[in-house]
């Protein structure tokens, strides 16, 4: 299959590697061209513009950082929409507001191109190993066509309904993630201030009926003071803002998530936005006057 893949951050680079390993012909593009080099060395072809990247593709895939990147890469000059043609299928794997997905679907339909929104759960390791969890919105028959393309990238794939429902599910899932990060930070700080050993606490959290992979992974990095980036804190804030917008759109209460969003915002404002999402807990540590270690 001829695939164009645009956006080679932590997530996109891993996905392209798995597409190449699955035997697909992949043309890549990234705003920072140097990021294409390792994938070209593995057999990908590099394009100079989004329009050039998608010109000869059967499937157009992209994972972009935010709504502004979608505006530039999809709708902008020499963007994807200026290069696509009838018969292609576009797959947006970015985390965006569902209204953005719906806007994309309308624009692609005018070009005779089918569209699905297919954001992913997981981060650096899952992207590299084909272990992502993908949630999809769009026409069911289009989903069935592209499912074999998504399978080498994923542990599971979930069809959620019409256009925008994949994007909606991603924000709902990230609401849980943000809440868990806040809960982990508050609980670990309380434990430390009350005299418990943080590693002993993590050992208990690992085996209880409320255990969580997020508690395991982030808890360990907190104790080690390792905030190397798998998913940047600044993107967690972006997602928290999108969740707040979605909640407002639906008149849905999110008091706990709103509180967690303020923690994330404070951490970004302290200059930790490029660090891992677990750096949000540093803002709570500042309030407490301790570090979890």
User: Could you tell me the CATH number of the domain that includes residue 78?
Assistant: 3.40.50.720
**293 occurs within a structural domain:** no
From the list 274, 293, 170, the residue with the least C-alpha distance to 221 is 293
pLDDT at 264 (0 to 100) = 98
pLDDT computed for residue 132 by the predictor? 98
Helix 198-205 vs helix 165-193: crossing angle, to nearest 10:
140
203 and 135 in one domain? no
Among the three residues 163, 187, 202, which one is the final residue of a domain in this structure?
163
Is 238 considered catalytic here? no
**What is the full per-residue pLDDT of the chain (293 aa) written as tens digits?**
999 999 999 999 999 999 999 999 999 999 999 999 999 999 999 999 999 999 999 999 999 999 999 999 999 999 999 999 999 999 999 999 999 999 999 999 999 999 999 999 999 999 999 999 999 999 999 999 999 999 999 999 999 999 999 999 999 999 999 999 999 999 999 999 999 999 999 999 999 999 999 999 999 999 999 999 999 999 999 999 999 999 999 999 999 999 999 999 999 999 999 999 999 999 999 999 999 99
Q: Among the options 2, 170, 211, 224, which is catalytic?
A: 170
Q: What tokens were used for 159?
A: 């069809």
User: How many domains would you assign to the chain?
Assistant: 2
Single residue among 163, 193, 211 that ends a domain in this structure: 163
Residue written as token pair 């909606």: 168
The CB density around residue 22, as the number of other CB atoms within 10 Å, is 16
Residue in 117, 119, 104, 115 with CA at minimum distance from that of residue 11: 119
Q: 115 and 222: one domain?
A: no
Is residue 188 domain-shared with residue 152, that is, in the same domain? Answer: no
Using a 10 angstrom Cβ sphere, with 0-12 exposed, 13-18 middle and 19 or more buried, the burial of residue 203 is exposed
Contacts of 117 (CB under 8 A, 6+ apart): 91, 92, 96, 98, 101, 104, 105, 136, 137, 138, 163, 164, 165, 166, 167
The residue out of 163, 179, 213 marking a domain boundary is 163
Q: Which domain holds residue 188?
A: 170-288
């Amino acid at each position: 299959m001829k695939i164009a893949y645009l956006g080679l951050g932590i997530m996109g680079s891993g996905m392209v590697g798995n597409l190449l390993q699955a035997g697909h012909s992949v043309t890549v593009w990234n705003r920072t061209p140097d990021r294409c080099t390792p994938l070209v060395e593995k057999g990908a072809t590099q394009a100079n513009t989004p329009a050039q990247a998608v010109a000869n593709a059967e499937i157009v895939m992209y994972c972009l950082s935010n709504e502004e990147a979608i505006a530039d890469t999809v709708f902008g000059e020499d963007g994807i929409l200026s290069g696509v043609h009838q018969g292609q299928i576009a797959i947006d794997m970015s985390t965006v507001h569902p209204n953005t997905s719906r806007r994309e679907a309308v624009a692609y339909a005018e070009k005779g191109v089918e569209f699905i929104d297919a954001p992913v759960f997981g981060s650096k390791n899952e992207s590299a190993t084909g272990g992502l969890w993908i949630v999809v919105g769009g026409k069911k028959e289009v989903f069935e066509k592209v499912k074999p393309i998504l399978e080498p990238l994923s542990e599971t794939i979930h069809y959620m309904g019409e256009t925008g429902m994949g994007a909606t599910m991603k924000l709902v899932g990230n609401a849980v993630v943000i809440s868990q990060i806040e809960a982990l930070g508050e609980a670990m700080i309380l434990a430390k201030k009350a005299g418990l050993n943080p590693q002993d606490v993590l050992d208990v959290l690992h085996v209880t009926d409320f255990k969580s992979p997020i508690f395991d992974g982030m808890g360990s990095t907190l104790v080690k003071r390792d905030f190397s980036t798998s998913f940047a804190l600044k993107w967690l804030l972006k997602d928290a803002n999108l969740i707040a917008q979605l909640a407002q759109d639906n008149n849905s209460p999110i008091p706990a998530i709103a509180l967690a969003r303020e923690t994330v915002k404070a951490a970004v404002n302290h200059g930790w936005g490029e660090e891992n999402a677990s750096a949000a807990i540093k803002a709570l540590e500042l309030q407490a006057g301790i570090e979890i270690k």
